[in-house]
Amino acid sequence: MTETASPSPFASTADPLACVPDSPLCFQDVSLRFGARTLLDSISFTLRPGETRILLGLAGMGKSVLLKLANGLIRPDSGEIFLFGQSIATMPEPALLNLRRRTGMIFQESALFDSLTVRDNVAWQLIERGISNEVIDRRVHRALSFVDLDDTFSLYPPSLSGGMRRRVSIARAIIDKPDLILYDSPTGGLDPVTSHTINELVIKERDAYKTPAILVTHRLQDAFTMVTHRFDHDANAMVPLPRGSFDPLTSFMVLHESHLLFDGSTDELLSSKDPFLKDFLA
Ligand SMILES: Nc1ncnc2c1ncn2[C@@H]1O[C@H](COP(=O)(O)OP(=O)(O)OP(=O)(O)O)[C@@H](O)[C@H]1O
Ligand SMILES: [Mg+2]
């Protein structure tokens, strides 16, 4: 089928939840059950180009599952998921693989191969595609420099701290300049100082490349760091935005009891009257 023969999934409509034409990721009425439990019930949202969406929710609400749905690692029971404008809910695996390659995923547990060097972990996708060693080495050095870990090139993951492992997995996710980044709790289990470094890296990536992203976090403090800071390249550090202003391209979603309880800006979140949200934010 040619492109022009297929109807656009993004037909113009007044529906505020409809996907926009250049949306990197869009969920429409997505539901998923595990056994008797409906984990996600009719989830709809649209990520726009350049946007970062912070996904909050209590443990077990399905945040990691939502990220895996986003790149087709889990398939929904019903609804549509558009990744880079293509419907992936029932897309065959080989075609999906090509789209998944355009996404960078930072798994909740870093998911590095302990038996491979940092170089091979970071280069994993490029090695699979048969890219030359010389090009791979150059790109691994560049990705590791971005996360300030170039000196770990030849080391093995077990010799790294938890924070370093997380940074290596960020290097792996960004090495191929992804069109979408899915961060699953990148600061989970880390101490505040190390979390600061990871937050700074996420903000650096956001502000340097404007790659659309979904970021799951358990820590409200990290979420608010994301919206109240920008990356200053001259200082090579994140710096606070003027008091009371928030990054306009970073917004929030809250998943609660199978539903998307909230999807909106920082201002809207802070002024929400919803009793659960008020409690959650307090
Ligand atoms: N492949 C699977 N098969 C069956 N149940 C699953 C599967 N994956 C996840 N679940 C269940 O779905 C629920 C949500 O899991 P998920 O990992 O998405 O939660 P989460 O919101 O990321 O939690 P946390 O904040 O602890 O990371 C859990 O009860 C989990 O056991
Ligand atoms: Mg999780």
Ligand 1 atom closest to 65 (CA): 18
Residue 68 lies in a domain: yes
pLDDT bracket for residue 218 (50, 70, 90): confident
Cβ neighbours of 266 (radius 10 Å): 20
Same domain, 157 and 270: no
Same domain, 154 and 60: no
**CATH number of the domain enclosing 269:** 3.40.50.300
Residue 38 lies in a domain: no
Residues with Cβ within 8 Å of 65's Cβ and at least 6 positions away in sequence, in order, are 32, 39, 40, 74
The separation between CA 191 and the C-alpha centre of its own chain, rounded to angstroms, equals 21
Calculate how far, in angstroms, residue 244's C-alpha sits from the geometric centre of ligand 2. 30
Ligand 1 atom closest to 66 (CA): 18
Backbone region of residue 257 per phi and psi (left: phi > 0; alpha: psi in -120 to 50; beta: other values):
left
Q: Are 199 and 187 in contact (CB under 8 A)?
A: yes
Report the pLDDT value the prediction gives residue 262, as an integer from 0 to 100: 97
Residue 18 lies in a domain: no
Any atom of ligand 1 within 6 Å of the Cβ of 60: yes
Any atom of ligand 1 within 6 Å of the Cβ of 59: yes
The separation between CA 6 and the C-alpha centre of its own chain, rounded to angstroms, equals 29
| Beta pairing class for 213-216 and 229-232 | unpaired
| Per-residue CA distances from 174 to 103, 170, 182 (Å) | 9, 6, 11
Calculate how far, in angstroms, residue 151's C-alpha sits from the geometric centre of ligand 2. 30
Classified as helix, coil or strand, 199 is helix
Tokens of 94: 């080989």
Name the residue with the closest Cα to ligand 1, atom 4: 34
Residues with Cβ within 8 Å of 220's Cβ and at least 6 positions away in sequence, in order, are 56, 280, 281
For residues 77 and 54, what is the distance between their CA atoms, to the nearest angstrom?
24
Report the pLDDT value the prediction gives residue 87, as an integer from 0 to 100: 95
pLDDT digit string (tens) for 24-38?
Answer: 999 999 999 999 999
Report the pLDDT value the prediction gives residue 10, as an integer from 0 to 100: 43
pTM exceeds 0.85 for this model: yes
Report the pLDDT value the prediction gives residue 17, as an integer from 0 to 100: 55
Same domain, 268 and 131: no
State yes or no: pLDDT of 93 exceeds 90.
yes
- Could you tell me the residue range of the domain that residue 151 belongs to? 112-178
State yes or no: pLDDT of 142 exceeds 50.
yes
pLDDT bracket for residue 15 (50, 70, 90): low
Any atom of ligand 1 within 6 Å of the Cβ of 63: yes
Instruction: Tell me the sheet residues that pair with 86.
Output: 83
Ligand 1 atom closest to 188 (CA): 27
pLDDT bracket for residue 111 (50, 70, 90): confident
Give the residue, out of 33, 37, 38, 39, with the most ligand 1 atoms within 8 A of its beta carbon, to mutate for a pocket test: 39
Same domain, 130 and 159: yes
- How many independent structural domains does the chain possess? 2
pLDDT digit string (tens) for 185-198?
Answer: 999 888 888 899 99
Report the pLDDT value the prediction gives residue 282, as an integer from 0 to 100: 87
> Looking at the CA of 62, which ligand is closest?
1
Name the residue with the closest Cα to ligand 1, atom 8: 65
Calculate how far, in angstroms, residue 112's C-alpha sits from the geometric centre of ligand 2. 17
For residues 205 and 199, what is the distance between their CA atoms, to the nearest angstrom?
10
Calculate how far, in angstroms, residue 63's C-alpha sits from the geometric centre of ligand 2. 5
Determine the average pLDDT of the residues in 47-51. Answer: 96
Same domain, 188 and 266: yes
Name the residue with the closest Cα to ligand 1, atom 12: 62
Residues with Cβ within 8 Å of 263's Cβ and at least 6 positions away in sequence, in order, are 45, 251, 252, 253, 254
Classified as helix, coil or strand, 26 is strand
Report the pLDDT value the prediction gives residue 25, as an integer from 0 to 100: 97
Report the pLDDT value the prediction gives residue 2, as an integer from 0 to 100: 35
Same domain, 187 and 256: yes
Report the pLDDT value the prediction gives residue 16, as an integer from 0 to 100: 53
pLDDT digit string (tens) for 237-257?
Answer: 999 999 999 999 999 999 999
Calculate how far, in angstroms, residue 268's C-alpha sits from the geometric centre of ligand 2. 25
Tokens of 197: 């470094």
Residue 163 lies in a domain: yes
Calculate how far, in angstroms, residue 255's C-alpha sits from the geometric centre of ligand 1. 13
Same domain, 267 and 194: yes
Residue 204 lies in a domain: no
Ligand 1 atom closest to 59 (CA): 25
Report the pLDDT value the prediction gives residue 1, as an integer from 0 to 100: 33
